[in-house]
Each structure stands twice: as structure tokens, then as C-alpha cells.
């Protein structure tokens, strides 16, 4: 049943994740700086390599060559572990993300590492683990700015996790399955973005807050608390926080595509359906990444009480209303 080829295919898929997830942020960082540059009528990085293409690589080398400073009064072990708690969940979540349909190359290969029947819960669980990164970083740094950052981050991530869960529930009511492959298959005729437009809004806003991105980047608001929870980090450990932020954005975008924008579905060219499906998936994901950059360039940062009030007094009721409407519609159909 399970032969050597199956094992080899699984190893290749796992390796692909461990190569692509750390490397993709290199591209995204440059893309973000270029796009922000265009939006703000400047050129953006253009010195290192043609069209500034090697800028991120140069930044990486710079960070790698820096001193790895550990605050003497801090907690060494926790300080050392904190960045790992950011990066590892971001990579692990990709194990259940389907980037394309089942393709036939000699044998049937699904373009996902594993089709877990509780995939959505698995991703939400990893999301709730990721909050330990900022918490541990802020506490172990023994710095007041870092502590403020991690306090903000804890409250923010826990609150927006709830709204994200409520938004996902709407999709689950439609599909009746936790499996991401099933969810994408059910969107063959209509994207869930149409009936779940409120859910999409709640999900994407919560996603921005969960990844600590502008305009919800209060845990690292540089004008108030310097750099928040990672203020004491330098060198490669700082780079890991940076990497995790972009990896998480990539993940939330991919998840939004799977849940609301039909995953890999799109017009396919006969003969190379597999390839065009993957291209559709990537295209949709990158479009959502662009929305992330666009929002950062457009919106000012919220004040902290506004952020919490927005979550509990607006987003959560909206999510519950969406769930209620979805449930009524679903009952009406069946």
C-alpha cells in the first residue's frame, strides 16, 4: 500500500515547505518596499543588484553578521526560544494548505502534504501557539518597552483569534467539513466570498491583527514603544521575527484564498490543469499580499483602546450576525 515512492513524495513535499517558507519572505520584503515606494512616490530600494533585487539578501547578510545580543538581566533560555515559537508554527501550518488539486504524474499526487480532517482546527491551534513568541520575547528581554509590546500582543491576538474563529465557522457551516481540500472542492461553482462577504471581511481584518500588521501593529508601534516585544533582539534572532511576520502574512493570505476565493479553482488550460491551478492559487494569494502592503501604506495606526473596542464591539457582533444568517440560509436549503 505504502511503497518507497510514497515516502519519497512525502519527503519532497515536506522539503519544499521548509525551503519555500523561509525563502518566500525574501521576495515579499523587497516587493513590499518597492510597492510602498511607488505608493509614496519614491523609488524604493534600487542600489543592490539590478532593480534592487538583491536588497533583501544584503539585509540578510548584514543581520547575520551582527552581534547576537542577549540582555544580561533577561532570561537566556526563554529569550533563545521565543523566535522559534514564531517561525515554527508558521512553517508547520503549510502542511495542510492545498496549493492545487490532485494531479496525475505516473500516480495520483495531491498537491498538499496531508489532507487532515481537522485541518482548520490544526491551523487555529498553531495560530494560538504563535502568541507565545511575543509573550516570551517580551518577558525574557527584561525591558519595559518589550513588556508593553508583549502585553499588547497577548490581548490583541487572543481577542482577534475569537473573531477569526467565528468568521471561519461561517464557511464550516456551508461545507460541513474541517478539511481544506473539501472546502476548496465545494467552491467549484461559486466562491464563498459571495455568500460569505461579511465572513471574509471579519476574517481578513482579524488576519491583519493576528499577524501584527499595520494598521494593527500596536505590539511593535515604533512611535510609542520603540519596537515592542523584539526591541532587545538583534542579528539573526531579529531576522527570525521578521521572517515569521512575512511567513504569517503569506499563510493568512493563502488561507483566505482557500476559504473564500475558491482556492486553486479558475479557468484552466486543458492538458496542464495542474500547473494552471497552482498558478491561480499563487496569483490569488499574491493579490491578497498586495492588499496587505496597500493597507500598510494607506491607513494610520489605531489607538490601543480603539483596537480592542473595534474587535469586541464591532467585529465580533458582525461575525455572529454572519454566522446566524449563514445558519438560517443553510437550514432553508436543506
Partner 1 sequence: MTDQIVAFTYLSIVASVAGLATILVRSPVHSALSLVVVVFHVAGMFVLLGNGFLAAVQVIVYAGAIVVLFLFTMMLLDLRRHETERTVHRRQIWLAIPIAVLLFAEVAWIAISKPETSENLKGAFPPQTIDELGGSAQALATVMFTDYLLPFEVASVLLLAAAIGAMVLARNPDEESLASPPDMIEDAAGTDESSEQSERELSETPATHG
The length of the chain in residues reads: 334
Beta-carbon contacts of 30 under 8 Å, excluding residues fewer than 6 positions away, are 45, 52, 53, 55, 56
Task: List, as one string, the DSSP characters of 48-96.
Answer: SSGGGTTHHHHHHHHHHHS-----TTS-HHHHHHHHHHHHHHHHHGGGG
Looking at 121, 198, 226, 320, which residue binds partner 1 (CB under 8 A)?
A: 121
> Which conformational region is residue 301 in: left (phi greater than 0), alpha (psi within -120 to 50 degrees), or beta?
beta
138 scored as a contact of partner 1 (CB under 8 A): yes
Sketch the per residue contact string, 47 through 86, with partner 1: x for CB under 8 A, - otherwise.
Answer: ----------------------------x--x--------
Q: Which is nearer to partner 1, 116 or 226 (CB)?
A: 116
| In the complex, minimum distance from the CB of residue 136 to partner 1, in angstroms, rounded to a whole number | 7
Question: For residue 325, which of 162, 198, 206, 177 has the smallest C-alpha distance?
Answer: 198
Among 97, 99, 151, 231, binds partner 1 (CB under 8 A): 151
CB of 272 to partner 1, least distance (A): 34
3-class secondary-structure state, position 42? coil
Between residue 269 and residue 308, which ones bind partner 1 under the rule CB under 8 A?
305
> Which is nearer to partner 1, 129 or 286 (by Cβ)?
129
Q: Which of 79, 139, 238, 264 binds partner 1 (CB under 8 A)?
A: 139
**CA distance linking residue 59 with residue 257, whole number of Å:** 30
Residue ranges in contact with partner 1 by CB under 8 A: 75, 78, 116-118, 121-122, 124-125, 127-129, 131-132, 135-136, 138-139, 147, 150-151, 154-155, 158, 161, 178, 305, 309
Amino acid at each position: 500500500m505504502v511503497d518507497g515512492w510514497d515516502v519519497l513524495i512525502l519527503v519532497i513535499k515536506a522539503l519544499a515547505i521548509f525551503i519555500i517558507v523561509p525563502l518566500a519572505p525574501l521576495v515579499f520584503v523587497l516587493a513590499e518596499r518597492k510597492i510602498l515606494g511607488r505608493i509614496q512616490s519614491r523609488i524604493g530600494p534600487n542600489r543592490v543588484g539590478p532593480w534592487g533585487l538583491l536588497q533583501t539578501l544584503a539585509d540578510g547578510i548584514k543581520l547575520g553578521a551582527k552581534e547576537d545580543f542577549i540582555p544580561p538581566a533577561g532570561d537566556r533560555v526563554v529569550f533563545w526560544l521565543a523566535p522559534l515559537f514564531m517561525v515554527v508554527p508558521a512553517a508547520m501550518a503549510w502542511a495542510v494548505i492545498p496549493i492545487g488539486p490532485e494531479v496525475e504524474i505516473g500516480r495520483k499526487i495531491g498537491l498538499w502534504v496531508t489532507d487532515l480532517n481537522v485541518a482548520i482546527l490544526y491551523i487555529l491551534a498553531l495560530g494560538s501557539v504563535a502568541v507565545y513568541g511575543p509573550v516570551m520575547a517580551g518577558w525574557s528581554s527584561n525591558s519595559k518597552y518589550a513588556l508593553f509590546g508583549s502585553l499588547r500582543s497577548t490581548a490583541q491576538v487572543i481577542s482577534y483569534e475569537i473573531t477569526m474563529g467565528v468568521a471561519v465557522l461561517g464557511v464550516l457551516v456551508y461545507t460541513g467539513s474541517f478539511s481544506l481540500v473539501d472546502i476548496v472542492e465545494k467552491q467549484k461553482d461559486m466562491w464563498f466570498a459571495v455568500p460569505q462577504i461579511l465572513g471574509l471581511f471579519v476574517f481578513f481584518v482579524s488576519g491583519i491583527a493576528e499577524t501584527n500588521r499595520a494598521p494593527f501593529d500596536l505590539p511593535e508601534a515604533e512611535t510609542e514603544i520603540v519596537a515592542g516585544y523584539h526591541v532587545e533582539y538583534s542579528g539573526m534572532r531579529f531576522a527570525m521575527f521578521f521572517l515569521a511576520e512575512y511567513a504569517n502574512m503569506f499563510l493568512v493570505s493563502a488561507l483566505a484564498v482557500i476559504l473564500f476565493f475558491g482556492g486553486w479553482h479558475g479557468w484552466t488550460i486543458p492538458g496542464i490543469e495542474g500547473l494552471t491551478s497552482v498558478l491561480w492559487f499563487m496569483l490569488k494569494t499574491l493579490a491578497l499580499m498586495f492588499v496587505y502592503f496597500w493597507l500598510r501604506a494607506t491607513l494610520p495606526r489605531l489607538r490601543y483602546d480603539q483596537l480592542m473596542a473595534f474587535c469586541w464591539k464591532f467585529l465580533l457582533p458582525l461575525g455572529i450576525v454572519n454566522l446566524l444568517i449563514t445558519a438560517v440560509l443553510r437550514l432553508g436549503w436543506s
